[in-house]
Amino acid sequence: MKRQRFKRVAKSTKPIQPTEPGIDDPETRASERLKSVTVGAKPKSRQPQPKILSLPPIPNPNSLSFDKIRILPPQFFHIDALDLAPRLLGKFLRRDDVVLQITEVEAYRPNDSACHGRFGITARTAPVFGPGGHAYVYLCYGLHTMLNVVADNEGVGAAVLIRSCAPIRGLDTIQQRRGQKTDKPVLLTGPGKIGQALGISTEWSNHPLYSPGGLELLDGPEPENILVGPRVGIEYALPEHTSALWRFAIAGTPWISAPKNTLRPP
């Protein structure tokens, strides 16, 4: 199968504005003003070659035995966020009786003017600099709980935002937590909705997603076709980062957040 190359954006020499919307987070610029610094390892010079994976239709929950599906190991996450992001598509998030399948993500990298990591290590951003495979959870507008998967090695400062999912199990629990009695995509298309559906708070930040119990990331079917596009809600970032095609979604699924018209085949 032909591997697809995704463009990395080189480190910019332009100054970064001292606001902190961060990882898909325009909301926090109203509540947090931190000094902007450039941190993290330099982007790797090699061109990323994320494997394009294949996804059948959303599986019948009764046909899946999640006790037999492996939890993804720590080394799965110890790669560049731009490589990890498309590899997370089709994987499963599990907490208690709720199982979600990841359908849309965004990559945030070192020297990225849209990434929280650019502000250095603070009480809030410390998990971003931890080892890959941990959760980074923050509040957007002080209201929406945003789940990110930390990527790369310890000290780098990179993560992948979970933007949308499809419900696989625990629909009643998801609906109760979301306060919406629907099985339509509006239930889980948006990063704040994912945190709410999983019932997590910022206390889950730094939680290892590869440890049994709690919040887990499980292996899942690999999508055959994906879509790429610019990330959402990062107008504050530098132009080269607002236009970077670092948003990834499974082609053909309705479980994708708005805007959809900016997504296209790679």
The domains located in the chain, with CATH, are 69-250 (3.10.300.10)
Residue 7: predicted pLDDT = 62
Residue 184: predicted pLDDT = 97
Least Cα distance to 108 among 146, 55, 165, 66 occurs for 146
Encoded tokens for 90: 């089709």
* Alpha carbon distance 259, 162 (integer Å): 15
Least Cα distance to 228 among 245, 205, 251 occurs for 245
Encoded tokens for 248: 């990834």
Least Cα distance to 26 among 144, 201, 156 occurs for 144
Residue 82: predicted pLDDT = 98
Residue 140: predicted pLDDT = 84
- The residue behind tokens 């332009």 is 14
Give CA separation, 22 vs 96, 111, 119, 125, 236, in Å: 29, 12, 9, 10, 9
Enter the pTM of the model.
0.80
* Alpha carbon distance 83, 6 (integer Å): 9
How does DSSP classify residue 186? G
Q: Residue 214 CB: number of other CB atoms within 10 A?
A: 14
Encoded tokens for 181: 């009695």
Q: Is 155 left (phi over 0), alpha (psi -120 to 50) or beta?
A: left
> Would you say 230 and 262 are in contact if contact means Cβ atoms under 8 Å apart?
yes
Q: Is 213 left (phi over 0), alpha (psi -120 to 50) or beta?
A: left
Give CA separation, 238 vs 19, 68, 123, 129, 159, in Å: 12, 44, 25, 22, 18
Per-residue pLDDT in tens (0 to 9) along the chain, 266 residues: 344 556 666 444 444 333 333 454 443 443 333 333 233 333 333 334 433 333 344 555 555 667 789 999 999 999 999 999 999 999 999 999 999 999 999 999 999 999 999 889 998 899 999 999 999 999 987 778 999 999 999 999 999 999 999 999 999 999 999 999 999 999 999 999 999 999 999 999 999 999 998 999 999 999 999 999 999 999 999 999 999 999 999 999 999 999 999 999 99
> Would you say 118 and 111 are in contact if contact means Cβ atoms under 8 Å apart?
yes
Encoded tokens for 171: 């629909």
- 84-135, pLDDT tens digit by residue? 999 999 999 999 999 999 999 999 999 999 999 988 999 889 999 999 999 9
H helices present in the chain, as ranges: 81-88, 171-178, 191-198, 239-242
